[in-house]
Amino acid sequence: MLYVSDLDNTLLNASAELSGYARDKINELINRDMLFTVATARSWFSANRIIGELNLNLPVILFNGSVIAEFTSGDNLHVQSMDKALLPALFEVVKSHGCVPYISTFNGSENKLYYGEIVNEGMVWFQEDRKQAGDNRMRKMDNPIAIFEETVIGFTIIHQKTVIRALYQELQVQFGDRLEMHHYENAYSRGWQWLSINDKKATKRFAIEFLLKRLDKDPSQLTVFGDSVNDISMFTLADHRIAVANASRDVKRMATEIVDHHTKDPVVKYLLQQSR
């Protein structure tokens, strides 16, 4: 069985941390040959800072499925990039709503996160969070057109709900068949909505299919854990779909089982039960 868990509000606690109990028990299970990995909206830098003490020996799924990377090194195994021809028009629509995107890229050797003008308190929070984390991906965005020559993984926009919803709706009308988009309130910066924009094929399902093929397994041998809209794609793939108690209504509706609240280490407790 392959087990794949979301991070935020699923495997992690309310402080966006992996509990010592979860770390120790998951490592014990991995040492007993359990196949376990994570699928997250986070970058490798962000995920590794939180779960770096896990002895993961499988690739991890990042940016909601845009990137599959080796966990120990951060080396990319697969990058689902955005269509270069689409990027200038996409950028102009984002600007027309008074938003300034963060742009994640890969230039063949390193991952970068470009930022422009900081236009609201939600972005101030993110800048400070990245500074405190020592995120070496951060780059000032001077010329977006030059950035688009790199492999663009995705855009992230931070703004108030009304702005994000209006932007999302326009992007759906203009580019909906070419983009994978999710918007949600940041659980760690309340009151600010985030909109992630990636290529249409950049889903957790697509990335897990890559892993299943690599491991010579099929969806009947797959268990996934999640809570939010960006987990739905992997719920459509797996035979065993575990929602935490704090999951959205849509995720719970698709689940084959609902476990405890994410603050009570339900993922690791489920894994321990399955290992008996």
pLDDT tens string 258-271: 999 999 999 999 99
pLDDT tens digits, 31-57:
999 999 999 999 999 999 999 999 999
In whole angstroms, give the CA distance from residue 266 to residue 12: 10
At 157-214, the pLDDT tens digits run 999 999 999 999 999 999 999 999 999 888 788 889 999 999 999 999 999 999 999 9
Other CB atoms closer than 10 Å to residue 126's CB: what's the count?
A: 21
pLDDT band at 276 (very low <50, low <70, confident <90, very high): confident
Q: What is the pLDDT of residue 219?
A: 96
What count of other Cβ atoms lies within 10 Å of the Cβ of residue 160? 13
- What CATH superfamily classification does 2-76+203-274 receive? HAD superfamily/HAD-like (3.40.50.1000)
- Fold category of 84-199 in CATH: 3.30.1240
Per-residue pLDDT band for 108 (boundaries 50, 70, 90) equals: confident
User: Domain-by-domain residue ranges, the chain?
Assistant: 2-76+203-274, 84-199
Q: Share the mean pLDDT of the chain.
A: 96
> Which pTM was predicted?
0.91
